[in-house]
Structure 1
Amino acid sequence: MENGAINFENIYTKHIAPTIEEIEVKRQKLLKAKYIGIIVIWLAIVPISYAILIKLQAGYNAPFIGIFSHFAYITFIKSLYQFDIKEKLFAKISLVLPDIQYNHQYNADPDFIRNLEITPEFDYMFSSDTISGKHANQKFQFFKLNLQTSNQKSTVNVFKGYMLKVDLKKELYATTIIKSKVMFQMNLEIFSGKQEVVLEDPKFSKYFKVTSTDQLEARKLLTAKLMERLNNLSTILQTQSSLSNKFQGNVLEYLQAKAQKLFEPVVKAGRFSCVFYKNEMIMLIPTDYEFFEYKNLSIPADKTMYDTFIKDIQCIYSIIDLLP
C-alpha cells in the first residue's frame, strides 16, 4: 500500500482515538504506581540503613542501594508503559496498514550479522522492536540493534542504532559493501575475495569505502544518482535532532529546508554502512534517535503519540525510496 494514498487523519479518528484513551488510562495507573513505589523504596531505606549500620557498621551504603532501586523501578515502569503503547498502537495500525507488522523481539543470528562485514567487532548482541512491512513493492524489516564488546573491566557499546533489510527489485550476483570510514576501520576484503572499488565521486569516496566481489557490477549499482542519494541520507542520519522530523516529505524538501536554515544539524561521529548481495540491501544505521519510543509518563497520551509513530514509519519509507 502506498503511503501517499492513505488518509492518516481518518485512520486516527476511526481506529486510533479509542486506543489512545485506553493508553491514557494505563498511563495514569502507572504514574500513580511510580510515585507510590518511589515512596515505598525510600521509606524502606531508613530501617535498612539502621539495620546495616548496627550490624555491619556500613549504613552509608544504603543510600546507594536506594538510588539504584529508585532508577531501576522508574525504568521498569517506563518499559511497561512503552510496551503497552507499541502493542496497542501497532495492533490498530496493522488493521488499516496490513503491510506493517510489529514484534517486540527480533532473533538475529550473531554470526549472520558478523558475516555482513559492516559491523564493528562485538561480543554481545541485543536486537528488538521489529517492524516488518512492504513499501513500493519492496519487503523490509527494520529493528533495533545494540552491539557490545567486553573485557575484564567493563562492557562497552560499539554500536547503537538500527538495521534495515530491504528486498531489492533486481537480482545481484556480486556482494558489494559500502562501509563508513568514520565509524570503524576493517580490512577484511583481502580474506573475503573483495577488492576496493575506485569511484569517480570524490565526496562519496571521502566518507565511504566500497569493496566488491565484482568491480563491474559494483560500478553499475553505484550510479552517480545513487551515490548522491546516499550522501544526502548520510547527512540526514548524522543529525542529533529528532530523526523522523527530517523526513517530513522527500529528500529534496529536506535539502531545501536545510538551505533555508530552518534547522541546524549537529554532526556526530558515525555514518551508515550497508551491503548489497543477492536481492537484498542491509543497512546499519547508527543513531541516538529511538524509533517508536514514547516513555514520558508525565505527558498525557494524545494524538501526538500516534503522529510520532506515523512519522517514524514514513521515515523508514523515505530511506527505502532512496534505493535502486
Structure 2
Amino acid sequence: MKAVVITSPGGPEVLQVQEVDEPQLQDGEVLIKIEATAINRADTLQRKGLHPPPKGASPYLGLECSGTIEAVGTNVSRWKIGDQVCALLSGGGYAEKVTVPAVQVLPVPPNISLKDAACFPEVVCTVWSTVFMISKLSPGESFLVHGGSSGIGTFAIQIAKYYGIKVFTTAGSEEKLAFCKDIGADVCINYKTEDFVARVKEETQGKGVDVILDNIGAAYYQRNLESLNVGGRLFIIGFMGGTVTETNLTMLLAKRLTVQAAGLRGRSIENKGEIVREVEKNVWPAIDCGKVKPVVYKSFPLSEVSEAHSLMESSKHMGKILLFP
C-alpha cells in the first residue's frame, strides 16, 4: 500500500509517498480502508522528530481517519466488513489502510459524508476528554478557547454552545474572528490588538471565565490564571508559546484554581475506548441534529502532503485540513 514516509526529520519537503507493507491485523482490531485523514499539529512535530509515536504504534503520521472496514479481528463483535466508520488512531492515518483497536472506532454520523467524518475523532476526543470529562465544563458556565479558528477551536465552540455555555475565543485576524462568531462564539478577541485578560474581565463583570482550553502554554500561563473565575480550571494541551515560565502561585490559592495538562495519543487503549464511548453518547447526538458540523478548510491528495503541512504551519486555515489517498 501507499503511505507517507518521513525520510528524515525536517520541513514539509521530507515527506514522501512510498510503497510500504500493509499493517497486520491483531486480535481486537479492525482494518480500515482509508477514505480520508486529517492533519494535526502533532503531525508537524513528529515530522520534525519532536513527537515520536508511542511504543507499538504505526511509524506513519495520522491520528484520525474515516473509511470502510475491510477486515475484522477476533473478539470484535460490533463492527463488520463494509461498515463506514471514523477512528481515533495512535498513528498510521497517512496511508491507504490502517489497523486500529475496535474500541477506538465510531460510526459515521448520519448526514455527514464519509470523507468529512475524518474531521472529528482527534479533536472531538481531545476536547471532550479534557474540557468536559476532566474539567467538567457545565451548562451555564463560561469557557475560553484559544485559537478558535483551528480544528480544536471550531469544534470546541460548537459543542460548548450546544451545551448552553457562554463561549469566548481568541484569534489573530478579523476574518477568523468573524468566522468564530458565525459558528457560535459569543465573545471574539483579537489577540494581536487586544488584551484578552482585560476583555474577559470586562465581559464577565470582573469575575473571569470558568474553564480555559489552552494550546499556547508558557506565554499565556499567567494571563490565563488572571482570566479565570474563582474555582476556575485551566487545561493545557499544547506548547506553541513555550514550555518554561515563572508564575505567582498566590493566585492559584486565592482563587482555588485547578491547572491540568494531558495529551491523547499516549493514553492506554482502555482509556481511549472510554473516551470514545463518552463521545458517541454525548457528542454524536449534537452532530446528528446539525448543531455541530464538520469544518473543512481544504483537502489535498496524499501526493500533496508537503503542501498540506505547509498550510497547517502557516496558520492561514480555518478548521480542518484533510488528506485523501
TM bucket normalised to smaller: under 0.3
Larger CA Rg, structure 1 vs 2: 1
In terms of fraction of residues, the more strand-rich structure is 2
TM-score (norm 1): 0.23
TM-score (norm 2): 0.23
In terms of fraction of residues, the more helix-rich structure is 1
